[in-house]
């Protein structure tokens, strides 16, 4: 059929005139070039070049690294968000997320606060090797652990464990520095008192501002310690906050803290929708998961073939992502806790163990996709990155 039949449709000439007119006064799209990327980079750059401008010793085991932008621009973030660093440590390219501990109103720099951890390859590298003037590559700010004014309560009950204090530092600093209409109850659990990062600053802020209530909770207190001791229990929380109405609860710390505190909160009558949990890395001892296959040992090794290539070696007790990185493969990642889906890979054959509750899309499950950062090999695998 000749396409030209539409030339006989009523109103055809009017359309032709409209086309002539709109082209004559049209848009010059040649100038668009990479304008989309440039616009998005203001908010969500895939990479930022950061220079260590200062290193602040917080405690014998903890340092704050302060970063300024090499090109002078730092994208905005929400208190509680993290950035990931892209590093090469011991000849292995890897990435690690760190919550920003500086407040978002401080637009000149980003702070991250790092504590020494057992087998913490990257954290220990940052503590021991990073020097002023070093340049590190980082991601743009990311993450969903922040105050959302649309549906969170203005009274925030925060439960922190160990280095899980960092996102709350950003939130509390922002609140006091900007005079925000928010109240913080901060329960901060540590094994010993001298492990409590920012203890002095939090004590000072709590003394000065009525809306900052700081409750350190020490598991093994020194003799004669007058403050709260043991774990962060429902009773302690209730005694401090009075009632659970009009309050949103935020948790950031190791898995053990969630396992203990979430049931405590529920026992207090806090509905699940009021409980916000920050991600905190892959489970450290996955083989202790109740669903872990008993016949598999943490030290068992499996062979992983990537897209038909040479097999690489992977340990059952270690996230598949780590094995891939150790073998020199480049797999993108951000949160390394199962949430962001950046390290999504396809399992062609073999099985991995995934802890319960990892947010994997339904159809990804159907077609064999997993998040490599929280997948543990329990058979020989063939995968597609």
Question: Would you tell me which residues interact with another protein (CB under 8 A)?
Answer: 1, 3, 5-6, 8-12, 14-15, 18-19, 22-23, 26-36, 39-40, 42-44, 75-76, 78, 107, 144, 148-151, 271-273, 332, 339, 341-342, 344, 359-364, 366-367, 369, 384
Nearer to another protein, 12 or 225 (CB): 12
**3-state class (DSSP) for residue 240:** helix
Task: Give me the count of residues in the chain.
Answer: 385
CA proximity to 114, closest of 63, 162, 59: 63
Minimum distance between the CB of residue 39 and another protein, rounded to whole angstroms? 6
Distance, CA of 112 to CA of 80 (rounded, Å): 11
Cβ count near 18 (within 10 Å):
11
Minimum distance between the CB of residue 334 and another protein, rounded to whole angstroms? 10
Nearer to another protein, 30 or 210 (CB): 30
Minimum distance between the CB of residue 360 and another protein, rounded to whole angstroms? 7
Nearer to another protein, 22 or 349 (CB): 22
Nearer to another protein, 81 or 211 (CB): 81
- C-alpha pair distances (Å), 306 with each of 88, 284, 340, 351, 366: 22, 25, 22, 14, 20
Minimum distance between the CB of residue 380 and another protein, rounded to whole angstroms? 21
Distance, CA of 330 to CA of 344 (rounded, Å): 13
Tokens of 173: 């600093």
Nearer to another protein, 91 or 151 (CB): 151
Minimum distance between the CB of residue 22 and another protein, rounded to whole angstroms? 4
The CA-based angle 78-82-87, given to 5 degrees, is: 150
């Amino acid at each position: 059929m000749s396409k030209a039949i539409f030339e006989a449709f009523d109103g055809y000439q009017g359309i032709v005139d409209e086309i002539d007119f709109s082209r004559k006064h049209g848009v010059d799209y040649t100038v668009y070039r990479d304008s989309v990327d440039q616009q998005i980079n203001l908010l969500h750059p895939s990479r930022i070049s950061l220079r260590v401008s200062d290193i602040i010793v917080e405690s014998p085991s903890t340092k704050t690294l302060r970063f300024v932008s090499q090109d002078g621009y730092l994208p905005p973030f929400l208190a509680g968000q993290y950035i990931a660093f892209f590093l090469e440590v011991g000849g292995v390219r890897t990435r690690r997320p760190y919550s920003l501990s500086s407040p978002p109103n401080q637009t000149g720099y980003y702070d991250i606060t790092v504590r020494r951890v057992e087998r913490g390859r990257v954290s220990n590298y940052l503590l021991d090797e990073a020097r002023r003037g070093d340049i590190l590559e980082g991601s743009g700010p990311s993450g969903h652990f922040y105050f959302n004014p649309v549906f969170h309560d203005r009274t925030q009950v925060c439960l922190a464990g160990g280095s899980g204090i960092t996102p709350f530092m950003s939130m509390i600093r922002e609140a006091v520095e900007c005079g925000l209409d928010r109240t913080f109850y901060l329960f901060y659990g540590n094994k010993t008192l001298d492990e409590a990062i920012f203890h002095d600053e939090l004590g000072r802020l709590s003394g000065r501002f009525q809306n900052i209530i700081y409750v350190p909770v020490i598991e093994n207190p020194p003799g004669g310690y007058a403050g709260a001791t043991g774990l962060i229990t429902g009773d302690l929380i209730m005694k401090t906050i009075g009632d659970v109405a009009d309050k949103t609860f935020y948790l950031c710390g190791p898995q053990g803290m969630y396992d203990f505190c979430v049931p405590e909160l529920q026992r207090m009558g806090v509905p699940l929708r009021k409980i916000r949990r920050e991600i905190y890395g892959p489970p450290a001892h996955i083989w202790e998961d109740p669903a872990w296959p008993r016949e598999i040992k943490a030290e068992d090794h499996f062979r992983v073939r990537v897209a038909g290539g040479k097999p690489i070696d992977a340990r059952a007790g270690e996230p598949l992502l780590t094995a891939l990185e150790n073998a020199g493969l480049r797999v993108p990642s951000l949160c390394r806790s199962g949430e962001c889906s950046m390290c999504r890979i396809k399992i062609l054959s073999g099985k991995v163990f995934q802890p319960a509750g990892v947010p994997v899309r339904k159809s990804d499950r159907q077609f064999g996709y997993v998040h490599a950062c929280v997948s543990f090999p329990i058979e020989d695998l063939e995968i597609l990155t």
